[in-house]
Chains A and B, each alone.
Chain A
Amino acid sequence: MAVKDVPDNVFMTTLDAAANWARSNSLWPMPFATACCGIELMATASSRFDLSRFGAEVMRFSPRQCDLMIVAGRVVMKMLPVLQRIWLQMPEPKWCISMGACASTGGVFDTYAVVQGVDRFIPVDIYVPGCPPRPEQLIAGIIALQDKVIKTGTINGREFAKRTSATGPAPFDADELIRIREANEQLPVLN
């Protein structure tokens, strides 16, 4: 059916594109700030760098009101269940930025308590490198996420259903954990 006589203030688009345009320009971040990256995250949101230029300044400390989780800082094994619960509490559609070396890989903290990258246990969309990243880098990450939402987003989140495997390195199975434990127990005692 051809459309005739479209008024000047009416334009036509797909529902997906309209939803992506709205979502990408009004990201509401959930600041999961656990370390020094959190300071840069605060600086990004404040007046000098002014995240509100990109429509993402509404930091919400309730996961129910957010659609972008920014994991800023190292996550220890006691904190990871908290992180996972907060992620599960966020309504769809939602995205995750892993900010800084520690959140992405564990950074220099290769110890028993620190999770070696949150992408092993929750899905991550954008990684921002740096230790800590400067606010410009985080803003670049948010712009990249906006680009990703615009290019791949759908109004009902169909693209998420395809991501069935873990974002990060392959997860350890129980046997591998047992092998790690046994290898550790055979370490020679240093003297």
Chain B
Amino acid sequence: MSHQELLQAHFPSAGLDFSEFRDNRRVIVPKERLVEVLTYLKTEGGFDFLSDITAVDYLEYDDATDRFGVVYILANTETGVRVIVKTFVNDPDPTLPSMYPLWKCADWTEREVYDMYGIRFEGHPDLRRIMMPDEFTAFPLRKDYPLKGRGERHNFPVITRSES
């Protein structure tokens, strides 16, 4: 039974949007049903591995209705099937429930999404920056953040030869 049949049978009125491109199987899930759908996919669908979590900023898209898309890539390690689950969050304070209780590997991937996009994951045990330094204040992969930064890379003390 494919993931689509499973989900349609179990969540008939959840507003899931299925699509497929080549071998990418995609499901768009409303934010409120995300935990249920992912839990069901893990326990009943056999998707025991969370391959990656990433996000997209749709700020400059004319036809976009939401600011951020968050993408969960699940894999079934027995059959090799992958499913891409996508949901949308919005400003201000984009927040999603953490998937750490389901898959422990969500720890670092959610920290990465938080670091780059500022999307908070509620219930995450240790939501800190993972790549940028702790004193960094911006979220650099947001489209309203300039490519060359806001001068953070120049904000260091200068050591001259006479004083070192």
Docked complex Cα distance between A110 and B158 (Å): 20
Chain A residues within an 8 Å CB radius of B132: 78, 113
Closest approach, in angstroms, between the C-beta of A181 and any C-beta of chain B? 4
Residues of A143-191 at the interface with B, using a CB-CB cut-off of 8 Å, are 160-167, 171-172, 176-178, 180-181, 184-185, 187, 189-191
Do A160 and B162 have beta carbons less than 8 Å apart?
A: yes
Do A121 and B151 have beta carbons less than 8 Å apart?
A: no
Say whether B140 faces chain A, with CB atoms less than 8 Å apart: yes
Q: How many A-B residue pairs have CB under 8 A?
A: 96
Task: Please indicate which of the listed interface residues A88, A184, A185, A190 has the most CB atoms of chain B within 10 Å of its own CB.
Answer: A184
Among B24-32, B34-42, B72-80, B141-149, the stretch that binds chain A is: B141-149
Interface string of A75-118 (1 = CB under 8 A from B): 00110110010011000000000000000000000111111100
- Contact A87 B151, CB 8 Å, known A112-B140, A113-B132, A189-B60: no
Do B159 and A113 have beta carbons less than 8 Å apart?
A: no
Docked complex Cα distance between A161 and B164 (Å): 9
Closest approach, in angstroms, between the C-beta of A32 and any C-beta of chain B? 14
Say whether B133 faces chain A, with CB atoms less than 8 Å apart: yes
Say whether B22 faces chain A, with CB atoms less than 8 Å apart: no
Interface string of B41-60 (1 = CB under 8 A from A): 00000000000000000011
Docked complex Cα distance between A123 and B164 (Å): 9
Do B158 and A111 have beta carbons less than 8 Å apart?
A: no
- Contact A190 B161, CB 8 Å, known A77-B133, A172-B151: no
From B146, B156, B158, A81 is in contact (CB under 8 Å) with B156
From B144, B152, B163, A77 is in contact (CB under 8 Å) with B152
Say whether A122 faces chain B, with CB atoms less than 8 Å apart: yes
Do B160 and A87 have beta carbons less than 8 Å apart?
A: no
Residues of B117-133 at the interface with A, using a CB-CB cut-off of 8 Å, are 131-133
From A164, A178, A190, B162 is in contact (CB under 8 Å) with A164
Say whether A134 faces chain B, with CB atoms less than 8 Å apart: no
Say whether B155 faces chain A, with CB atoms less than 8 Å apart: yes
Closest approach, in angstroms, between the C-beta of A117 and any C-beta of chain B? 10
Chain A residues within an 8 Å CB radius of B104: none
- Contact A160 B149, CB 8 Å, known A113-B140, A121-B156: no
* Least CB separation from B138: chain A residue: A112
Chain B residues within an 8 Å CB radius of A114: 153
Say whether A60 faces chain B, with CB atoms less than 8 Å apart: no
Do A166 and B158 have beta carbons less than 8 Å apart?
A: yes
* Least CB separation from A167: chain B residue: B161
From A110, A112, A122, B159 is in contact (CB under 8 Å) with A122
Closest approach, in angstroms, between the C-beta of B92 and any C-beta of chain A? 18
* Least CB separation from A191: chain B residue: B60
Chain B residues within an 8 Å CB radius of A120: 154, 156, 158
* Least CB separation from B153: chain A residue: A77
Do B158 and A191 have beta carbons less than 8 Å apart?
A: no
Closest approach, in angstroms, between the C-beta of B144 and any C-beta of chain A? 7
Do A180 and B147 have beta carbons less than 8 Å apart?
A: no
Do B154 and A172 have beta carbons less than 8 Å apart?
A: yes
Say whether B157 faces chain A, with CB atoms less than 8 Å apart: yes
Say whether B62 faces chain A, with CB atoms less than 8 Å apart: yes
* Least CB separation from A77: chain B residue: B153
Residues of B within 8 A of A (CB): 59-60, 62, 131-133, 140, 143-164
